[in-house]
Amino acid sequence: MFGQIEEYFRTSLDRWTGMLAAHVEVSLLALAIAAALAVPAGILCARYERLKGPLTGLFGALRVVPSLAILLLMLPVLGTGTAPAAVALVLLAVPPVLMNTVAGLESVPAPVLETAAAMGMEERQIWQKVRLPLAMPMILAGLKTAAVEIVASAALAAKIGAGGLGELIFTGIGLFRTDLLLIGGGSVALLSLLTGVLFELLDKLLLKYKNV
Amino acid sequence: MTAIEFQNVSKRFPGAGRNALEDLSFAVSEGEFVTVLGPSGCGKTTLLKLINRLYEPDSGRVLLFGEDIRTADLVQVRRRTGYVIQQIGLFPHWTIGENVATVPKLLKWDKARIEARTDELLRLVGLEPEEYKKRYPSQLSGGQQQRVGLARALAVDPKIMLMDEPFGALDSITRGKLQRELLTLHRETGKTFLFVTHDIDEAFLLGSRVLILDGGKIVQFDTPEAIIRCPAQGFVRSLVDAAKERGRFWEAYL
């Protein structure tokens, strides 16, 4: 077994790095789009109470649909390749970021916002200097959940031709090659773990005040 | 000079059965230390928030130094009033120095001036700048945090200080110390203080006049001596009696 794995890396390292790069690429793309949609949506929800119910409800419901189902449902609409995979992953990633953004913004203590206003901060300044920065830890936690979920689910995206480490897994299943399964599965697991660690580091780096 | 004046001010919150404040009229002269005393829900916090326009009255006018605050610029009104509350409300993601410098930074003072002012303010409230400036609020005790809250409110030298039970959450030793320091600060700066409390001892100790509020109406507004000599009504009498009762309780042990 180990011989086969070693053999694979000796002969096909380029293929592996190519798949790894594709995996990271589609994951990053999905995460960036999800953040660009969900953080502003969360801000809107926290600002306009009426939007909160419908928006969080909609994405909450979408979250219940299994990721594989979303991927396959996207097939007739967007065809195969990176784009439909990214769309499916975005749908998967929006709920945790949206929910955490709303929760983070709502968790800022009322007295803090009140004293900010009483010192003559304008609405925009209160958001920029106080409310968003204080919601940051929870927004980051939402992004972390989303990123880990994306990296894991991106393996499924190989089913619709998006490439990535999932290819190795599906090839392994098709050919009964345990070594390919182990390399593919192990790589995805390690990438997931690494993503989590990266977000932990980011949290420590950006939010020094929490760790004093 | 009249610093704060209420003219027939009423305030009702949506859905409330009665007015939170009912036709309130009173005036506070510049340099006075007025304490506002009353039970929970009597409207004392509402009264305070009408002065820095966190709330707007339904009818009547509030004047600061003769100027109707409704027509004055909102940000200017708030810069002219320092605001200190029981929950303190320091910004947890900023250091003590940054917290104290909040308003100077909003006003874009130059760096050296902000630095000098921050040090001066921290010393004024009894915190050594070198030791505390770089720390975060969570690293300070409740009493120290409230000192920072006070320094922050004093930053651009407001003429009026609004304080809402600022020492309510502190232990009695720290509270006593801060009360004495606040009186010294009042004497030295000559600022006008409006200090809300539900603690009669605190109200009578600090206030040069005490405004007693019940059910949204002024029950009595006079010096502590006058109130103790002839308490206005049943409510004030019961307050004074309760305080005397406490005094007798302690005397029994001395």
Alpha-carbon distance of A167 to A180, in angstroms, equals 10
Is B26 an 8 Å CB contact of chain A? no
Alpha-carbon distance of A61 to A131, in angstroms, equals 28
Cross-chain Cβ contact B75/A130 below 8 Å = no
A116 CB neighbours in chain B (<8 A) are: 89, 91
CB pairs under 8 A between A and B: 62
Minimal Cβ distance to B93: which of A117, A118, A209: A209
Alpha-carbon distance of A124 to A17, in angstroms, equals 45
Q: How does pLDDT run across A141-166, given as a tens digit for each residue?
A: 999 999 999 999 898 888 887 888 99
Q: How does pLDDT run across B58-114, given as a tens digit for each residue?
A: 999 999 999 999 999 999 999 999 999 999 999 999 999 999 999 999 999 999 999
Containing A67, the helix (H) or strand (E) segment is helix A67-78
Class of domain A21-165: mainly alpha
pLDDT score at B24: 95
Q: Considering only CA atoms, which of B130, B163, B129, B127 is closest in space to residue B145?
A: B127
Bridge partners (DSSP) listed for residue B68: B63
Name the residue ranges covered by the structural domains of chain A.
21-165
The crossing angle, in degrees rounded to 10, of helices A82-106 and A49-64 is 140
Q: Please state the ipTM of this predicted complex.
A: 0.89
Q: How does pLDDT run across A36-51, given as a tens digit for each residue?
A: 999 999 999 999 988 8
User: Which phi and psi (to 5°) does residue B36 adopt?
Assistant: -110, 115
Residues 6+ apart with CB under 8 A from B248: none
A39 within 8 A of A135, measured Cβ to Cβ: no
> Which residue of chain A comes nearest to B89, CA vs CA?
A112
pLDDT score at B194: 97
Containing B34, the helix (H) or strand (E) segment is strand B33-37
Sign of the Cα torsion B19, B22, B28, B32 reads: negative
